[in-house]
Structure 1
Amino acid sequence: MFNQDMDGPNATIGPSWIGHLTRCPEFRTLVYTRYLELQDQIVNLYKANDLGDARIDVLLKEYDNSFSRDLKRWPISVYRNDLYRTTETTFAESVTFLRSFLEKRNQWLLANMIPKDFDSTSAPAVTKAADPTNATVIVNGKRIAFDAYNIEGNNYFKLRDLAMVFSGSGKQFEVDWKEDVRAINLVSGRRYTPVGGELAKGAKGKVQSTLWTSAIYKDNAKVSLTAYNIRGNNYFKLRDVTKLFNIGVGWEPHTKTIELDTALSYQEP
């Protein structure tokens, strides 16, 4: 239950562990910051934006017949919660309700959960320990040394290093600058233009990394990639990049070898 003595963004929940967390100002700041960071993805659930068509519409294109058939067999005629009550009789009405609910819920959270004077730029930076990657990396059959780091079990590489080694392949991409939004734009199919410093040897030893939260684009459409800044350079999660460009990636645990193959398609681990 919410603490009846508190309201709005300062409300807390009961005596449980989540109640203790919500009473912590630092935790609330992290929640507010992350919710604002994810707004593009949240809005994209119900409405088209820079990330592409709304996820609802994408799913409808693929599974519309299945959804309609299931609803006829197992009808759900009434939706109830604290904020909305409505009754639908058709599948189309149910979709309309869901789209409206998601939008209204997001707007309600923005208006009631996050303080009006909250400044996300003042939120504490998210830092994590980063160890130099000790794995061997094979790219299209050739061993290549990278300046890369392991953060919480995932490997992070520089974008320009990856663009350099994939250049000339069917999965090549350019690292460009999108001036109108002042952000990186990855251009698929274009040969990479070296700027100097690619594949330079990195420093040894464990370091601290800071979560990088700036926008990034692929072919002028905003995408979501996890990245950390280490000593002034940004390192991106390898699987995020290989998935984005459909590049095959494998892991051989016995020899601690990462295999990248542009002739193969990306597969989830």
Structure 2
Amino acid sequence: MEQYQLSNGVNIPKIGFGTWQIPEGEEVYKSVTHALKVGYRHVDTAQIYRNEVGVGQAIADSDLAREDIFLTTKIWNDKYDYDLAKASIEESLEKLGVDYVDLLLIHWPNPKAQREQDAWKAGNAATWKAMEEAYRAGKVRAIGVSNFMIHHLEALLETADIKPHVNQVLLAPGCTQENLVAFCRQYDILLEAYSPLGTGSIFSNPVAQELAAKYGKSVAQVALRWSLQKGFLPLPKSVTPENIEANLQIFDFELSADDVDKLDKLEGIKSQKNPDEVDY
């Protein structure tokens, strides 16, 4: 598995297995177990996914050493201050059954309950302080954010001692978020791409279908390859064993620059929600 290197020197596999919308219990256990079996070494979960126990059990039951697996989780909106975030980190470690996670993210920059008088700024700063402490204590190997736009990052950077190592946002062909990507690269923040298939909206796109035929690959593989060539880290999710395996088969071909440009300009692909307006 090829890897990126985060700004703190930690290596992170270039593709991760996403677990959003995979229910707790047997389904997430089987999916993560199969992903690890076929070669994934990077698993992404979150408190709000409510499947940390199953993810952790699959990791524990695998034949892999803990240090060979890159594990991410995220702090949700109801843990939005220093004390709650500290307790939340311990809760996630317990549910996952691990002594540390490789990456911990603030899941949402501006929860609905924090929008009056820009309370989100103080909430993010306090949560980040707890994360920095966990990082220094070795409970977390890297820290970052998710769904943060430029103004959220600017506010966090005003108070952070450690800059985010990662920003996980919706990035897919047709949803390039160029200004945000440029800002993150200015600060050496790696972009992780959740919903790298546009939550499935790319499959019916005729341009994507034509390119898949051209390269002898699936639409999903073309989209994931696009993500890698943009320097992003895609997090595809599937519960189908064949698709889980196929999503890894993206290191044996390369898209031309013209085809990357065509994918940049796709229309009708699901885009990033405005985190300042979403109802949670």
* Structure ranking higher in helix proportion: 2
* Structure ranking higher in strand proportion: 1
TM-score normalised according to structure 1 size: 0.21
Higher relative contact order (CA 8 A, sep 6+): 2
TM-score normalised according to structure 2 size: 0.20
